[in-house]
Each structure stands twice: as structure tokens, then as C-alpha cells.
Amino acid sequence: MTYRGVVLDVDGTVVRGDDPIPGAVDGLDRLATDGLRRLFVSNNPTKRPPAYADRLRRAGFDASPEEIITAGTMTTTYLADNHGDDALFVVGEPALVEQLTDAGLTVVDAEDRADTVVVSIDRSFDYDRLSAALRACRDGVTIVGTDPDMVIPAAEGDLPGSGAIINAVAGVVGRDPDVVLGKPSDPALRTVRDRLGVPPTDCLVVGDRLDTDIALGERAGMTTVLVRTGVTDDADVAASDVTPDHVLDSLADIGTVLDVRDNTV
């Protein structure tokens, strides 16, 4: 009995910045040899699937936009389905705003016009923007976070992610977001199941984060594989309530997981 599908994280698992993580090519080659249907799922809200495919190609990986889901696409779909007529006040990067407006959603600059506040990674975030978010989050206004990642693995080292900005806004507003999308949220889980089209028991989830990648797989009933090439080390694993089925040094070692399943009758 073999695995039929795999959900792959990107940053910290396949690439760091624009550089391939050592061994990732070998790992992806082994997954392809075994015929697993793959889906790259990233909590990055700033890049659309075509841009992510280009980034992976520059790093030496052959990937198509149809194989990629990002927090940006999840957020856009969620807002279109649930808040399509709302005026959106966005604390986030221009690339996220472009995704929302291209989908026909209304983004406003005036805090007092907001029906829904969208909070995400914002590299220009400052005190004035935090103050604007506080004013926008009036009683009755919905707060939507794009993803929970506190830090993101970059070429120059770990950097603050969307979760850090979301926590800052939630702290001054005095309430948590109504929903935080991306892995391991229910919308992400439904999207992965629909797009991959493989029974969860026949799927792997491979990633470097316990609270997003591994938690998603655990909730879905998939076999979970943590790699040490990102933000999680053995001390984090020991202290966490989320326990991966396998812990590998890198994606290069994925054969040890596949061989166990291949030899099971």
C-alpha cells in the first residue's frame, strides 16, 4: 500500500528565500518517482500561485500554478464568499490588496468606512498604521487574519510574519480575529481536500511548522512529516502538544517514510 498524495509546505521546507534547501530536489524527485500527486500550500499571503511557480522555477523546481495554494488565494476566496459586499480595510502589503481588488472586492482607506478589517504581514507596519487599525476595528466590524505564522524563514534569517502583526492589532483592539485563515484553518483544510482529491489516509503532509503544517495534517487525518530545515527544532517538538508522525533532517530523507508504507501489506 503506497501513498497517493502529498501536501508540501514551501518556505523552510523546499526553499529559504530564493534558494533551494539542500536535499529538496532529491526529495521531490523521490515523491515524483513514487507517483504522488502533490500540492504546495504556503501561508505566504503576498504571492499569487503564478508568482510562486516562477519563484520555485528560479530555485530549480518544476512547478505549475495549479499545484499551488497560498494564504492570499485562500483569503481572497474566503472574503469573496463571505464578505463580498463589505468595504475592506487592509493592514497588509500592496500585493495582497491587488489580489483582493482584482477579485472585485472593495478596499477602502478610510477607517470609518470599514465593514471588515483584513490583517496580514506588512513590512511597512508602524505606530500610525496600528492606530488606524484600532480605529477601523469598531464594534461590529469583522476582523480577518490571513495566516497565523509568527515568523517566516528568509535567506537572511527568520523574520516577523503575519501572526506578529495580527497579534499587535488584536492586542490594542482587545479581541481576537473572527477568523485566521491559512494553515491549519478549516477553510485551508477544505481547500486542500478538494484540490488534492486523494483520501486523507493516503496523503502525507510535509512541513517545518508544528502549529500550521503538522496541525493541518493531524486534523485532516494525514500522515505528518516534520523537517528540521525551517523554524522548528527538537526542543520545540518536545514542548509541543502537536506530535508529528515522522521527524526528518530534510526533505531529502522522505524515502524513509515512503519505504515504510511501501513495505506495509
* Catalytically annotated residues: 9, 11
Alpha-carbon gap, residue 24 to 46, rounded angstroms: 23
CA angle 119, 228, 15 (to 5 degrees): 60
Alpha-carbon gap, residue 77 to 168, rounded angstroms: 25
Closest by CA position to 33, among listed 77, 3, 73: 3
Could you write out the three-class secondary structure of 27-80?
Answer: HHHHHHHCCCEEEEEECCCCCCHHHHHHHHHHCCCCCCHHHEEEHHHHHHHHHH
Tell me, what amino acid is at 196? L
Q: Which run of H or of E encompasses 215?
A: helix 215-220
Cell of 228: 528540521
Query: What are the counts of helices (DSSP H) followed by strands (DSSP E) for the chain?
Result: 10, 15
- On whether the CB atoms of residues 212 and 153 are closer than 8 A, the answer is no
Q: Which run of H or of E encompasses 207?
A: strand 203-207
Alpha-carbon gap, residue 5 to 215, rounded angstroms: 17
Closest by CA position to 204, among listed 34, 83, 72, 75: 34
